[in-house]
């Protein structure tokens, strides 16, 4: 649903927001921040600042559904706001836009409620009750499948079922936190017995995280036609992976310790409303692929249920300056074989109840070309071919001290570009 808040010509009196790489007035992502007093409050990123929503509501500058949305964040999380659904979130966006745009008459009252982002601490946007990671990146699935099954890279169910597994919520944290290299069982092909020790093949996975807004009752599936309405917004997500541990443990029940030691998300939730101009048609299925089963098919979802988000991964090698980031990959989220709505519909199809603040991972999003591969497993051909950094160093998998940075942007002619902020993590030695 496009409206005046998507008008690329509109500008803000917050000068740093105009042409900001991530947070122009057309974005207004939601998050949780604190200042020196430590109190966690809801905020909105605008340029280089954070607007304090709690103080905005207390000052009487927003009303009706928008005020209800802010009151729902009183516990220092976005869960309550997510639970209210789309209408209060849309009302909040409209009123914030009016307060922050260049022609606003309320600048003098709003400006004192802005805080420099560099002086604030960001927190988890929501308490995540459950986390599910999918495997919806078709090119990643093909690339990984070819490493292990060259003649048959995709298993027969892949094009019928949105594959996923239930992950661990306690180890999900926001950008900037250190990632402790996990210990685990690992066994090389030339080793007779497994050993226990630090992961030798630590990897990243370039993903999106979909935040659930309104949920569903246990036993009552969400229809595909309404599934997209249950997604409140999107963050960037790094599904760190211990590949050697994974190779030894994953059969027959799938990922376990190889995945549960860390997941990193970007702290800002770019709302479904901000992303409206960047919706796209679902990835065209090649001739011969089966059509989605009826419970996964909706014509509107196929026509505009995907998102076109340019995603980049960078590596700052151990000991290098932050300006020495080496771009690992660049691709689009269009590479998802299933739409986010299909992920929601399938997840609930057996009666599973999703709750506000639940998080769904997209799975690694790789493109068709070598420069768009979203993991080191793919880039290095399973660890067989090191890649060279601009510094002259090489990597097969991540080393201690390496920093992985994700950035994501939405760009489309006629609309202002918006971004997600950084998703960053630095590898720390195993204990």
Is residue 424 within 8 A of residue 177, CB to CB? The reply is no
What is the C-alpha separation between 7 and 5, in angstroms, rounded?
Answer: 6
Rounded to whole angstroms, what are the CA distances from 281 to 177, 225, 275, 338, 342? 35, 15, 14, 11, 13
By C-alpha distance, which of 67, 160, 59, 72 is closest to 113? 59
- 3-class DSSP state for residue 287? coil
Both tokens of 54, joined, read 């709690």
Q: Would you please indicate which residues are annotated as catalytic (active-site) residues?
A: 140
By C-alpha distance, which of 222, 211, 12 is closest to 96? 12
Q: DSSP letter string over 205-244?
A: -EEEEEEE-S---TT-PPPHHHHGGGEEEEEEEE--EEHH
Q: Measured in whole angstroms, how far is the alpha carbon of residue 174 from the centre of its chain? A: 11
H helix and E strand count, the chain: 11, 27
Rounded to whole angstroms, what are the CA distances from 405 to 252, 259, 263, 328? 33, 19, 13, 10
Query: Do β-strands 178-180 and 172-174 pair in parallel, antiparallel, or remain unpaired?
Result: unpaired
Both tokens of 105, joined, read 């008459």
- 3-class DSSP state for residue 123? strand
| Residues paired with 97 in a beta bridge | none
Phi, psi of 423 (to 5 degrees): -125, 110
What is the C-alpha separation between 423 and 35, in angstroms, rounded?
Answer: 21
Both tokens of 242, joined, read 């211990």
Is residue 426 within 8 A of residue 403, CB to CB? The reply is yes
Q: How many CA atoms does the CB half-sphere of 115 hold within 13 Å?
A: 22
């Amino acid at each position: 649903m496009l409206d005046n808040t998507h008008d690329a010509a509109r500008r803000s009196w917050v000068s740093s927001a105009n042409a900001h790489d991530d947070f122009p007035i057309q974005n207004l992502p939601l998050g949780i921040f604190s200042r020196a007093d430590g109190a966690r409050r809801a905020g909105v990123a605008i340029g280089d600042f954070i607007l304090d929503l709690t103080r905005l509501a207390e000052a009487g500058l927003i009303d009706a559904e928008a005020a209800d949305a802010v009151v729902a964040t009183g516990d220092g999380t976005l869960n309550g706001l997510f639970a209210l659904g789309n209408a209060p979130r849309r009302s909040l966006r409209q009123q914030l836009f009016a307060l922050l745009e260049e022609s606003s008459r309320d600048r003098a009252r709003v400006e004192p409620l802005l805080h420099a982002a560099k002086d604030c601490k960001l927190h988890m946007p929501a308490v995540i009750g459950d986390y599910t990671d999918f495997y919806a990146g078709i090119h990643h699935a093909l690339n990984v499948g070819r490493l292990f099954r060259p003649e048959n890279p995709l298993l027969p169910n892949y094009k019928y079922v949105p594959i996923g597994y239930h992950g661990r919520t306690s180890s999900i944290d926001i950008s900037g936190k250190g990632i402790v290299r996990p210990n685990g069982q690992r066994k090389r092909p030339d080793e007779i017995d497994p050993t226990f020790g630090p992961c030798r093949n630590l990897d990243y996975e370039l993903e999106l995280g979909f935040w659930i807004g309104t949920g569903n009752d246990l036993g009552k599936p969400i229809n595909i036609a309404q599934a997209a309405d249950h997604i409140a917004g999107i963050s960037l997500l790094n599904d760190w992976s211990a590949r050697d541990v994974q190779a030894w443990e994953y059969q027959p029940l799938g990922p376990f310790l190889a995945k549960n030691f860390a997941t990193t998300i970007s702290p800002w939730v770019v709302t479904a409303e901000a992303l409206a101009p960047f919706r796209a048609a679902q990835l065209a299925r090649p001739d011969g692929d089966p059509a989605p089963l009826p419970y996964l098919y909706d014509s509107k979802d196929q026509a505009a249920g995907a998102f076109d988000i340019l995603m980049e991964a960078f590596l700052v090698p151990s000991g290098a300056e932050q300006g020495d980031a080496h771009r690992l990959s660049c691709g689009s989220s269009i590479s998802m074989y299933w739409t986010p709505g299909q992920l929601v519909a399938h997840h609930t199809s057996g009666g599973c109840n999703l709750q506000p603040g639940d998080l769904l991972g997209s799975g690694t999003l790789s493109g068709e070309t070598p420069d768009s591969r979203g993991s080191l497993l793919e880039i290095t051909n399973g660890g067989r071919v090191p890649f060279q950094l601009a510094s002259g160093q090489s990597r097969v998998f991540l080393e201690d001290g390496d920093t992985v940075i994700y950035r994501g942007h939405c760009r489309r002619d006629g609309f202002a570009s918006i971004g997600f902020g950084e998703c960053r993590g630095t590898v720390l030695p195993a204990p």
